[in-house]
Amino acid sequence: MAAQIDSSPCPQPFWLPGGHLQTIHGALAARYHRIAFVRDRVDTPDGDFIDFDWVGPHLFANKTADNVSVEADPRLAATAARRWMQDSDWGSLPSTGETSALVLFHGLEGSSSSHYAQAIAQYFRARGWVVVVAHLRGCSGFANRMARAYYSGDSDDLKFMLETVLARLPNARWHAAGVSLGGNAMLKCFGEHPELSQKLEAAAAISVPLDLVACGTALSDTFLGRRLYGRYFLRTMKRKVLDKMKRFPGSIDILRFTQARTLREFDDIYTAPMHGYKNALDYWTRASSKPWLKELVIPTLVLNARNDPFVPAPSLPDSQDCSDSVLLHQPAEGGHMGFVTGSFPGHLNWLPQRIARYFETRQ
């Protein structure tokens, strides 16, 4: 059997037409409830670290498990976390067969502060779920320890993150959601490690660049891709790599790197060679999750708006590209991680509600 396809709309407001406006307004102006987290840092097997931001019933960002008020840690001032996890905090989080839990993987240059992460975490936390945002290396507000960073196909890191959260609350009913780049890495990981995905109840992948060649080309070769979206991402990505070059001199061609103006050039010079690929095209081809959709055994919602300016509609999968564990939801409107609804200035409630509906009904 092939995947099911859902083409029902995301009810976009009349005052927000087109994928570009829906993407930009969703990121910058739509309303959502803000939430603060408690941070847990875990060392990786290769000597780096991953930061996990947790929230859940009886776990509070402004007080400890024994009800002692705590001041926000100034080191976390630029993040959505207020304090560090203590050993006693783990007892505050329920971990029974009735506990629902969600691990969220953010997108390119995202974090627990991102608008979509805040909206999703607040929605599920308000309904009694445990939620944890797993930060890709270098995205938690702290530089990671190594010359390498994160990339779209990092199945090993995703596997480590999943195993870590599963071990923290082993009896909970775990779900996973991945956004954009984080969703691509999640789907690829699930395809490569079906035994791991079977430990979860269900997954949702939102605005994922399933075909990285098509999406990288759109962000590198179109006018707005180069001048708006690519420039926005490169602003922080280049700064992080230049900082790495001070700590790891000689690891890349710094002169060539400073002249990079597109995501393709960035990936050609840094991402691909640093993470074992020949060049950007090799990286985009081998790291894409689309070929792995047929291998998925976990019930998975794959949600992509057909007017996403990052993800060309012709590159989206059809039912024959996926296993029957997949539901493809491809509304005509929504942009890239926009999905704004309601009267001006709009809100971000539709997306977490859509994810929750799939987790509850598989529809």
Q: What pLDDT digit, counting tens, does each position of 276-311 carry? A: 999 999 999 999 999 999 999 999 999 999 999 999
What would the mean pLDDT of 326-341 be, rounded to a whole number? Answer: 98
Average pLDDT, the chain: 96
Contacts 24+ apart (CB under 8 A), 353-359: 353/123, 354/10, 354/301, 354/303, 354/329, 355/120, 355/177, 355/204, 355/206, 355/301, 356/123, 356/124, 356/127, 358/202, 358/204, 358/299, 358/301, 358/327, 359/175, 359/201, 359/202, 359/204
For the chain, the farthest-separated pair of C-alpha atoms sits apart, in whole angstroms, at 55
Residue 91 has pLDDT above 70, yes or no: yes
Rounded to whole angstroms, the Cα distance separating 260 from 226 reads 11
Q: What pLDDT digit, counting tens, does each position of 16-72 carry? A: 999 999 999 999 999 999 999 999 999 999 999 999 999 999 999 999 888 889 999
What is the set of domains in the chain, with CATH numbers? 4-210+289-361 (3.40.50.1820), 212-287 (no CATH)
The predicted pLDDT at position 7 comes to 93
